[in-house]
Structure 1
Amino acid sequence: MQKIVTLLAGLACAAPLWAQTSEEAADKTVPIAHVPDPDLDGLQVMAMWQQILPDPAQHSGPAPVTELRYVLHHPKDKVPDDACRPDGLTLVGASAAPGQRATLSGWADNRTQIYEATVCTAALDPAAAEIGVMLNGSYAALYHDPRFYDDQPAPVARMPGPAVFGSRTPGGLRAVFLSDSGCRGQDGTDRSSRFWQDCSKITPEAEPGNPDWTWPLNAHSWDAVAQAPDFVLHGGDYHYYFEKESYWQSGKGATARLEYWFQEFLLPAQPLLLAAPLAPGRGNHEVCATAWFGAGWLALFGPTGIASCDGSGAWGLGMSLDSWSFTVAPRDGSLAPYTVWMIDSANTFLAKTRGVYDAPGTTGRDKLWVTHYPPVKNEYYNLGGRRHIGDESNLAAVNAALGECTDSGDCWPDLVLSGHQHLYQHLSLTAVGLGDAVRSDVHIAGHGGVRMDADGLPAFARNEDGLRGCKTSFAGRTVLGRTDMAAETQTASAYGYLLLTRDAAAAGGWQVMPRWYLAATPLQDAAGSCDVFPK
């Protein structure tokens, strides 16, 4: 069971979206989500995915344990007692009766009607080659946005099951990682608010000459499906839509409404969600504060037993989820099982005080960390010449966790996948005192959808080609528990995601290949120094 830590216990938590009044939910300053209306008069499967769970005790691979999650809309006033198993609905591949996680609400019909939807879950049979949701004997047609399917068939609630895991790449595994995939959009033409982008434009051709004004998540999803991944990792920050100060401070809680989750993730990412199981990370946009989006994330993607912000403390910020892990291996047994750690760094203060990196930092190198905040970065943020290398609380949490292997580096993760910064950056870290043989690779892949950062290491190359490769020294600053770290750095202001292929011979046990929204986005070799502040 996951734990919740509460700050300032006893003060009210921000109300979850299903507890809000119609007046609160109908805040007229909030742009209407650009999604199709659901079938308000019928039973409809609105979303479906397979979610990866923590390894249980005595787990033996090669596949992680997964469960089916799906979202059902019932006709108004016709919700049955068993909302997740209405008449005519059957589950394919389930090993137990479904259960209900949460009820969410959304607006439809030009924000004149409220609908409710039920988030359901069911355990899966590890031997199931196919899973899905059927209505009246046929796989259910899924709620979808035709824009995201173009010339592809409309989706149904059907996908490969647990028995397929680890068999798509002979002698290996493939995974997809993306982060910060939401769209920083707003209605109208004012593009002054934090690098606005047009969420209705989903291909680079839609904005000739300015592809960074478009939104690439659906394009990433289809490209990733073509890579036949065994599993999908997300680093958090799914939801950005409409960033404007008056809205953030409105206190309406409207940011967690269900239609926005469909607009920014469940619909554009639907092709990928139907292709492979998902391990969802949590970012700072998924904390439970009123102006953020934690209520929706916990209801949809939260761990077993935690589906709301209840008990999360003053302003909803006092929630920290336990780090958890799962193991993966090829189905044919050609490679040993490998551990993936999902680390909740959404609230960096609690990441430090709770020690969320402690368990992932135990001895052993054959492990991959997924954490929203990077353990180190190489960026400039106009700080008068001082390089900003990461959130101080998060850095302290990582340094404390890796203190036991300061002299050897034998508890460093092989590979770290993170986001938060809206760019792509690869840091290949070594310690001067340990030599090149001990290396940890950090990939900051916050280029999954939201518009690129205005500042940062690529900023002074932005007017050139947005790419840079260089070498840096972190001497005198503590990184991975040491004060003699250096990095070869490659960075790019360009949309994309990462494709990982398990390869025991590769550095870190995985080949990591950036996939780009625009075809020609080569990375530069790390040459020259990063340590000169840009003019």
Structure 2
Amino acid sequence: MITLRFAGAWAPIIALASLLAAHQAQAAPATAYVVLGENGARIARAVTSAAECPSLVVDGRGLAMTLRAPAGTEPQRPTRSNPSQSKPSMFDASVCEAALPPTAHTASIGGQALPLPPAVIRRIVVIGDTGCRIKLADKAFQACNDPKAYPFAQVAAAAAKWKPDLVIHVGDYLYRENPCPDGMAGCAGSVWGYGLDAWRADFLEPAAPLLRAAPWAAVRGNHESCARAGQGWWRLLDARPLVVGRDCNHAADDSVGDYSDPFAIPLGKGSQLIVWDSSNAPNGPMAPQDPRFARYRDTAAKIAALAARAPHNLLADHHPMLALSASEGKSDLPRFNGGNPGLQAAFRSADANLFPASIDLLLSGHVHVWEAVGFASGYPVQIVAGFSGTQEDIVPLPAKAPDKPDIAPGAVVTALSSWVDGFGFMTLARTGPAAWTAEVHDLKGVVVAACKIDGRTLRCDKGQVHHP
């Protein structure tokens, strides 16, 4: 055995060791994914605990990532919860990003391949309302420790196997707002609050296979408003640059941080997806003097301008404007509620028809069911896909729409299909310029219902899904 004892002989070995150590630090495990932004911009993101942003390789060449948000703890701010049931938001990892060239064919971060969209989007997965609900004010304590009671990881894995070109999440990613009460075994030990630990548990970890499978169009839900998980929303998922004052760190800036302009993602073949932010919208009426009214009227005008760019449009937000919801009435009969009167009033102040004629399909969440509604009265098809993990609504919707559905003025419902109290995901497979086959999958990926969408025409194979 020969031992080298002079410094010069050790130099190459020391240099190699240092290089390997630097590479290991840079290649520390990172959560990597792609979000789509304005005009279909492809944005690579990485959540990393390494000291520096990880390496990004595009078509065999290195591309620098920039720091979007450093690790750190934000001071406690007012939230929807009592101060004693809230806490400062700690983000123990940094978020890095880079705009991917539109000509990129391959991309990877730390050896992990990033999914890039094809020129024509033909296969879309739609999910929504995916977090595990722990909310003291509502006395809602979902059993986050039980994969049967909180099956989002299973839903995401099954959806990834479908091999989508695009994932649309219609909002509400984080629900672990408060600590699990003592004695509640189903959520005992669960992380809580709005920091990165809660984002990991509710989204980044269970969604991992679906983040690897396809790029995402992320819609902001009311649970990502500034008074809730807005800080994490801006760090992790919003497609726009993160700037001071729009980060939800200070309540004084919420009038800026709670709103975003809509943007369009081309889907190819004369179709596009328009994403808009309704996170701060009320569920009920909204007076014209309400500051939100002017905001959403402006949003409606901007949506119309975007919709004029393509003959066929899908419009995605969190709050359904043309859907039915059900709740327990005073008698044994359920009470049905329709539409969103506040948003409808704001949009009608910009367009008496509510939506431009080129908008065929509305995709939303918020109501914890799957539902599809078609009209004979000049309205787009409305689909609700808030059934992918959060504690479900259990009051069934009718197999046939009520004679007076009270969804919107003049609304005549011609098709209604729903699945209540079941977890899963929806897929959209393109069959024509404005034609899609929508299939509803349970958490194992089994198809339990199907609909045909052609422009603003909806035909479904069943009115109600009865599936264990």
Q: TM-score, normalised by structure 1?
A: 0.64
Distance change >3 Å, CA 443–CA 95, structure 1 → 2:
farther
- Residue among 362, 369, 380 paired with 1:416: 362
Task: Confirm or deny: 8 A CA contact 1:183 1:239 kept in the other structure.
Answer: yes
Matching residue's letter, 1:300: L
Q: Distance in 1 between matches of 2:248 and 2:272?
A: 29
1:200 aligns with 2:145: yes
Partner of 2:389: 449
Deviation at 1:226, TM superposition (A): 1.7
Q: Distance in 2 between matches of 1:95 and 1:328?
A: 28
Partner of 2:258: 319
Partner of 1:485: 412
1:102 aligns with 2:69: yes
Identity %, equivalent residues: 23
- Residue among 366, 378, 384 paired with 2:312: 366
Partner of 2:400: 470
Q: Distance in 2 between matches of 1:320 and 1:97?
A: 30
1:338 aligns with 2:271: yes
- Residue among 43, 46, 49 paired with 1:67: 43
Q: Distance in 1 between matches of 2:381 and 2:360?
A: 6
- Residue among 186, 194, 208 paired with 1:256: 194
Deviation at 1:412, TM superposition (A): 5.8
Deviation at 1:268, TM superposition (A): 0.8
Any idea what SS the aligned residue of 1:469 has?
Answer: coil
Deviation at 1:160, TM superposition (A): 3.3
1:129 aligns with 2:56: no
1:515 aligns with 2:464: no
Distance change >3 Å, CA 517–CA 118, structure 1 → 2:
same
Matching residue's letter, 2:402: T
Matching residue's letter, 1:97: A
Matching residue's letter, 2:156: S
Pairing 1:24-423 to 2, within 5 Å after superposition? 44-55=28-39, 64-74=40-50, 79=51, 83-84=52-53, 89-93=55-59, 96-105=63-72, 116-134=92-110, 139=111, 157-162=112-117, 165-166=118-119, 173-185=122-134, 193-194=139-140, 196-202=141-147, 204=148, 214-243=149-178, 255-289=193-227, 292-306=228-242, 308-310=247-249, 313=252, 319-329=258-268, 336-348=269-281, 352-354=293-295, 355=297, 356-361=299-304, 366-382=312-328, 387-403=336-352, 405=353, 411=357, 413-423=359-369
Any idea what SS the aligned residue of 2:325 has?
Answer: coil
Task: Confirm or deny: 8 A CA contact 1:166 1:230 kept in the other structure.
Answer: no
Task: Confirm or deny: 8 A CA contact 1:474 1:483 kept in the other structure.
Answer: no
Q: Distance in 2 between matches of 1:392 and 1:484?
A: 13
Segments of structure 2 that go 5 or more residues without pairing to the other structure are 1-23, 74-89, 183-190, 283-290, 451-459
Deviation at 1:497, TM superposition (A): 1.1
Task: Confirm or deny: 8 A CA contact 1:472 1:489 kept in the other structure.
Answer: no
Distance change >3 Å, CA 485–CA 223, structure 1 → 2:
same
Any idea what SS the aligned residue of 2:114 has?
Answer: strand
Partner of 2:80: none
Number of residue pairs aligned between Structure 1 and Structure 2: 384
Distance change >3 Å, CA 42–CA 410, structure 1 → 2:
closer
Segments of structure 1 that go 5 or more residues without pairing to the other structure are 1-40, 56-63, 107-113, 140-156, 205-213, 248-252, 330-335, 432-437, 459-467, 529-535
Matching residue's letter, 1:352: F
Q: TM-score, normalised by structure 2?
A: 0.72
Deviation at 1:520, TM superposition (A): 7.2
Distance change >3 Å, CA 303–CA 351, structure 1 → 2:
farther
Any idea what SS the aligned residue of 1:218 has?
Answer: helix
Flag the structure with more relative contact order, 1 or 2, with Cα contacts below 8 A and sequence separation at least 6: 1
Matching residue's letter, 1:345: S
Any idea what SS the aligned residue of 1:84 has?
Answer: coil
Distance change >3 Å, CA 399–CA 238, structure 1 → 2:
same
Q: Distance in 1 between matches of 2:418 and 2:234?
A: 32
Q: Distance in 2 between matches of 1:478 and 1:489?
A: 12
Task: Confirm or deny: 8 A CA contact 2:36 2:215 kept in the other structure.
Answer: yes
Task: Confirm or deny: 8 A CA contact 1:105 1:116 kept in the other structure.
Answer: yes
Deviation at 1:342, TM superposition (A): 0.3
Cα-to-partner distance string for 1:349-384 (whole Å, 9 max, x where unaligned): 566321223332456661001110001221233455
Q: Distance in 1 between matches of 2:180 and 2:356?
A: 46
Distance change >3 Å, CA 318–CA 498, structure 1 → 2:
same
Any idea what SS the aligned residue of 1:341 has?
Answer: strand
Any idea what SS the aligned residue of 2:302 has?
Answer: coil
Distance change >3 Å, CA 96–CA 193, structure 1 → 2:
same
Any idea what SS the aligned residue of 2:336 has?
Answer: coil
Matching residue's letter, 2:234: L
Matching residue's letter, 2:400: C
Task: Confirm or deny: 8 A CA contact 1:312 1:318 kept in the other structure.
Answer: no
Cα-to-partner distance string for 1:57-78 (whole Å, 9 max, x where unaligned): xxxxxxx32021111213xxxx
Deviation at 1:516, TM superposition (A): 1.2
Matching residue's letter, 1:99: T
Deviation at 1:348, TM superposition (A): 1.1
Partner of 2:430: 502
Structural RMSD (CA) = 3.4
Q: Distance in 1 between matches of 2:463 and 2:31?
A: 46
Any idea what SS the aligned residue of 2:236 has?
Answer: helix
Cα-to-partner distance string for 1:274-315 (whole Å, 9 max, x where unaligned): 1111111100000111xx111011111123223522566377
Q: Distance in 2 between matches of 1:351 and 1:361?
A: 18
Distance change >3 Å, CA 402–CA 199, structure 1 → 2:
same
Distance change >3 Å, CA 353–CA 473, structure 1 → 2:
farther
Task: Confirm or deny: 8 A CA contact 1:341 1:370 kept in the other structure.
Answer: yes
Task: Confirm or deny: 8 A CA contact 2:176 2:192 kept in the other structure.
Answer: no
Partner of 1:29: none
Distance change >3 Å, CA 243–CA 316, structure 1 → 2:
farther
Deviation at 1:193, TM superposition (A): 2.6
